[in-house]
Amino acid sequence: MFYGTSLTSRCLLGTAGYPSPAILSAAIEASGTEVITVSLRREGAGGQAFRKLLSQHSRHILPNTAGCHSVKEAVTTAYMARELFNTRWIKLEVIGHADSLQPDPFALVEAAKILCADGFQVFPYTTEDRIVGEKLLAAGCQVLMPWGAPIGSGQGLNNLRGLQALRAAFPEIPMIIDAGIGAPSHAAQAMEMGFDGILLNTAVAKARNPVAMAQAFGQAITAGHTAYQAGLMAPRDMAEPSTPLLGLADLM
């Protein structure tokens, strides 16, 4: 549940970089997603035709401030998104490093304070830093979106211990892994750790068959969450026979 909205799918899907509008539409359906993200820059390029395509799917729209590098730029973009898409949801990105696209934690918290105070429901793209997470929650965010790895890198979960620590620190806060997921196995791994959702874009859009990849990710996310709920066995240092020794016939 995100800001009081219950969803049945834990897959959130980006809309940039697909080979065609038809493939994007098919990928949305194949993934089973109920939330699709769109940046104002992408929307501006497609205009009304792009908005019409999105409206055909009756999904929740999560606009984002992709490409913003300052508090002023991100806040202004958020206001434009609210007007355009008629939603209080905003995925807040404030980029601090041009090469890694790592979030600027100081600007991110400042922008989150401004937007939360004005009624936005902020989904902050952040690092796995616990202190930053605490400050974002104090600012009014009710969701955290830590990165798995740099945007579009496909590296998976680069800092397992850091992500595990963040998840353990705020067990009641919905958390979505955002950025760096490259394979369905990465998504399943994150869900097995107890995260609440995965936001995807590049791994689906740039696949040889985006529709099949979207379906694979949807299945992996479901499988990983089911495994987490079922309770994964703890790793052991020693082997443990699956067949009990007591009661076996002595054939010697």
Which residues on adjacent β-strands are paired with residue 14? 37
91 tagged catalytic: yes
Query: 203: annotated binding-site residue?
Result: no
What pLDDT is stored for residue 1 in this prediction? 79
Three-state SS for 39? strand
Domain boundaries, the chain: 11-230
The CA distance from 67 to 218, in Å, is 27
What pLDDT is stored for residue 41 in this prediction? 62
What pLDDT is stored for residue 42 in this prediction? 46
- Tell me, what DSSP letter sits at residue 209? S
What pLDDT is stored for residue 51 in this prediction? 75
Query: 226: annotated binding-site residue?
Result: no
- For residue 172 the two structure tokens come to 């009641």
Chunk the chain into consecutive blocks of 10 residues (it has 252) and report each block's average pLDDT, rounded to whole numbers. Answer: 90 93 93 91 59 80 93 95 92 90 94 97 96 97 96 93 96 95 96 96 96 97 97 87 66 62
- Bridge-based pairing state of the strands 176-178 and 35-39: unpaired
Structurally, at CATH architecture level, domain 11-230 sits in: Alpha-Beta Barrel (3.20)
The residue annotated as part of the active site, out of 52, 91, 135, 206, is 91
